[in-house]
């Protein structure tokens, strides 16, 4: 075990502040430091994940304040898994964006990596914190860096997208604050475990109202249906790797917050059905919208939203199997969608419009990138033997075991739609003629490595899903077992007070 949970948040934040300072001395450090930091975090987080998989959950109290009163960090199989995943993606994004486009210049790179660090720190914080207000703070950190990164290209469109994101984000913050205020006023505590422990004390009306405000606040981050208007624009206008980071990091953090609320904090049984319904609606609306898009990244954005809908459906099944499937889906989506964004951003590298029609015939000119995009497309629509298949299968099995046949049918029908739009793009890449005014940009070596890592993960999980299934099982067990979570967190406090 290397490091501790608090370092996972502190180091990137620290790095974010240090980058400009050290950058004054040695410009290249602006790019190198984040990589080193993320690499360290990855090692640390992975070793902790190994530890918690085999031993008990790591719970760290900040500044000696014990559990119900102070802020504590919970590095459980679930949170550890998600944190590791996010850090890994952060690393991939760093590797990819090292000297990507305008980041070559000093000033933008500084901003870029500062915000990337903050984004990772915030997202990891959302996942591993055990305090609901602390989580709100981290959500804000993540959101603010996300707004900034959306507007990174400083064009008219980027600014507009960023502004939309900001608008929605502020709605989200207000809703969250209201929800937290309701809970605090009723229960007088902000510690998640404590809230969960005392939830039965809360009057139903308050409980439901708080939950609804949470739904709205976190739903905006987690891209559920009527609240995800910002997403397509933000994904489209942000730099390619940032799109990957959104899909792989920000949204995952939002989903985590949502399921932690629904599974652990609140004990409202109907919320599961709500998740299923809202997930299905999100899935259907997003996938059907994706089919008519003419911009590549926008299409990927809708697809991303749709996948999140599917994740919610899987969580909404409510069984350990469902949770397992949902986590598996999150893992796969966090691998595949970044791959699509990264390779996609090279496919439309020099294009202004980022039109799908501009990828015509690139298969001959950039074979590996195209191949990786195709691999991603094959994987995300769930074709065996790639990783996406196993998660889709898990979702369907879990749903079938609960007798949700109609849901299976809907999910599968939507999958057909998904196939159509992904294959249209793949067909264009390989079987159309390249138009002359498209300038091909060969990917840099670091970007290539980043994509190849993701691609090989897809293949490895595809051929042997059992490599990850043990962590996923642990994580789903962790999420399902609310009592254990409460006891774990609170017992630390009690043992210290005694």
Partner 1 sequence: MEMIYLILVLFLGGAVLTWLLGKISPIIRDILFISSVIIPTVLFFMNVEVGHDVSFQVLGYKLSWGISYLAYLFSYIVLGLGSLASVYAVAAMKGKKNLGFFYSNFILSIMSMMGILLSRDLISFFIFWEIMTWSSYLMVVFRGKDVQKVGIKYFVFSAIGAYAMLMAIVIVNSLTNSLLISDLVSSFGSFSLSMKWLIPLLLLIGFAVKSAMMPLHVWAPGAYSNSPMAFTSMFSGALSKMGVYGMIIVMVSLVSYIPNGFWLKETIAWLGGITAVGGTLWAVAQDDAKKLLAYSSVAQLGYIIVGIGIGTPLAMLSALFMAVMHAIFKGNLFLVVGAIERQTGTSNLTEVSGLIRKMPWTFISALFSIIALAGIPPLGGFVGKWMLYESLIGSNHYLLVIVVFFSSTAAFLYSYKFLFGFFLGQEEKEWSHIKEAPAMMVVPMMILAVATFVLGTFPGLVLNPIDNGLQELGFASTQGRYWEMSALFNEWGNQVMLQPLVYAIIAVFLFFAAFLTIKGFKHTRYVTTKDISSSGEVPKEHENLTFSQNFFQPFLRAVEPFMKRRIDTYYSGIGNGLEAIFDFTRRIYTGNGQTYALYAVIFIVVLLMFKNALFGL
- Considering the complex, what minimum distance in angstroms separates the CB of residue 385 from partner 1? 6
Q: CA 118 → CA 83, 123, 124, distances in Å?
A: 14, 8, 10
How many other β-carbons are positioned within 10 Å of the β-carbon of residue 200? 8
Considering the complex, state which of residue 202 and residue 250 has its C-beta at the smaller distance from partner 1: 202
188 binds partner 1 (CB under 8 A): no
Residues 456-495 that bind partner 1 (CB under 8 A): 464-466, 469
Give Cα 443 distance to the centre of its chain.
Answer: 25
- Considering the complex, what minimum distance in angstroms separates the CB of residue 328 from partner 1? 9
Quick one: which of 52, 183, 216, 457 contacts partner 1 (CB under 8 A)?
A: 216
| Listed residue (5, 14, 48, 49) closest to 34, CA to CA | 14
Give Cα 176 distance to the centre of its chain.
Answer: 19
137-140's contacts with Cβ under 8 Å and 24+ in sequence apart are: 138/9, 138/253, 139/172, 139/173, 139/176, 139/218, 139/221, 139/253, 139/254, 139/257, 140/173
Q: What's the 3-state SS for 8-28?
A: HHHHHHHHHHHHHHHHHHCCC
- What is the C-alpha separation between 88 and 82, in angstroms, rounded? 10
| The CA-based dihedral angle spanning residues 367, 331, 245, 9, taken in that order and rounded to the nearest 10 degrees | -140
498 binds partner 1 (CB under 8 A): no
Considering the complex, state which of residue 409 and residue 460 has its C-beta at the smaller distance from partner 1: 409
Considering the complex, state which of residue 250 and residue 398 has its C-beta at the smaller distance from partner 1: 398
Considering the complex, state which of residue 110 and residue 392 has its C-beta at the smaller distance from partner 1: 392
Residues 222-251 that bind partner 1 (CB under 8 A): 226-227, 229-230, 232-233
Rounded to the nearest 10 degrees, the angle between the axes of helix 204-221 and helix 270-290 is 20
211 binds partner 1 (CB under 8 A): yes
Site string for partner 1, 357-396 (x = CB under 8 A): ---------------------x----xxx---xx--xx-x
Quick one: which of 268, 368, 449, 453 contacts partner 1 (CB under 8 A)?
A: 268
Residues 112-171 that bind partner 1 (CB under 8 A): 160, 163-164, 167-168, 171
179 binds partner 1 (CB under 8 A): no
210 neighbors 183 (Cβ within 8 angstroms): yes
- Considering the complex, what minimum distance in angstroms separates the CB of residue 4 from partner 1? 33
Quick one: which of 24, 104, 181, 416 contacts partner 1 (CB under 8 A)?
A: 416
- Is 259 strand, coil or helix? helix
- Considering the complex, what minimum distance in angstroms separates the CB of residue 129 from partner 1? 25
- What is the C-alpha separation between 219 and 15, in angstroms, rounded? 30
Q: Residues in the site for partner 1, rule: CB under 8 A?
A: 160, 163-164, 167-168, 171, 175, 204, 208-209, 211-213, 215-216, 219-220, 226-227, 229-230, 232-233, 268, 270-271, 274, 285, 288-289, 291-293, 378, 383-385, 389-390, 393-394, 396-397, 399-401, 403, 405, 408-409, 412-413, 415-417, 419-420, 423-424, 427, 430-432, 464-466, 469
């Amino acid at each position: 075990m290397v490091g501790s949970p608090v370092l996972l948040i502190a180091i990137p934040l620290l790095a974010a502040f240090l980058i400009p300072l050290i950058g004054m001395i040695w410009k290249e450090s602006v790019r190198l430091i984040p990589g080193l930091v993320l690499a360290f975090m990855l090692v640390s987080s992975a070793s902790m994940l190994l530890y918690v998989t085999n031993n008990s959950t790591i719970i760290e109290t900040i500044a000696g304040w014990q559990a119900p009163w102070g802020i504590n960090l919970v590095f459980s199989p679930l949170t550890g898994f998600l944190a590791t995943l996010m850090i890994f993606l952060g690393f991939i994004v760093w590797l990819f964006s090292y000297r990507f486009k305008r980041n070559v210049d000093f000033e933008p790179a500084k901003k870029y990596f500062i915000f990337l660090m903050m984004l990772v720190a915030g997202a990891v914080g959302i996942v591993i914190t055990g305090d609901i207000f602390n989580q709100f703070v981290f959500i804000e950190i993540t959101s603010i860096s996300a707004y900034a990164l959306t507007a990174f290209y400083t064009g008219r469109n980027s600014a507009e997208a960023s502004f939309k994101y900001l608008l929605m984000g502020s709605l989200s913050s207000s809703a969250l604050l209201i929800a937290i205020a309701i809970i605090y006023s009723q229960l007088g505590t902000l510690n998640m475990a404590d809230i969960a422990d005392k939830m039965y004390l809360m009057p139903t009306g308050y409980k439901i109202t708080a939950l609804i405000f949470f739904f709205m606040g976190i739903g905006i981050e987690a891209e559920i249906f009527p609240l995800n208007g910002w997403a397509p624009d933000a994904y489209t206008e942000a730099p390619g790797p940032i799109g990957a980071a959104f899909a792989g990091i920000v949204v995952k953090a939002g989903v985590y917050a949502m399921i932690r609320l629904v599974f652990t904090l609140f004990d409202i049984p109907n919320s599961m059905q709500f998740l299923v319904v809202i997930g299905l609606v999100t899935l259907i609306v997003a996938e059907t919208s994706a089919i008519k898009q003419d911009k590549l990244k926008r299409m990927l954005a809708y697809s991303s939203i749709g996948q999140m809908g599917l994740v919610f459906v899987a969580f909404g099944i409510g069984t350990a199997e469902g949770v397992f499937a949902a986590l598996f889906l999150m893992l796969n989506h966090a691998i595949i969608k970044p791959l699509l964004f990264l390779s996609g951003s090279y496919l439309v590298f020099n294009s202004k419009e980022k039109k799908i029609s501009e990828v015509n015939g690139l298969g001959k000119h950039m074979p590996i990138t195209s191949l990786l995009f195709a691999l991603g497309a094959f994987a995300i629509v769930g074709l065996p033997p790639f990783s996406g298949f196993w998660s889709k299968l898990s979702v369907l099995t879990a749903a079938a075991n609960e007798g949700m046949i109609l849901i299976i049918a809907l999910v599968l029908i939507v999958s057909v739609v998904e196939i159509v739009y992904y294959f249209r793009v793949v067909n264009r890449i390989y079987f159309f003629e390249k138009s002359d005014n498209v300038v091909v940009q060969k990917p840099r070596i670091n970007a290539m490595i980043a994509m190849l890592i993701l691609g090989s993960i897809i293949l490895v999980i595809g051929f042997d899903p059992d490599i990850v299934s043990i962590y996923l099982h642990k994580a789903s067990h962790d999420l399902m077992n609310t009592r254990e979570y409460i006891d774990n967190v609170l017992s630390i406090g009690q043992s210290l007070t005694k």
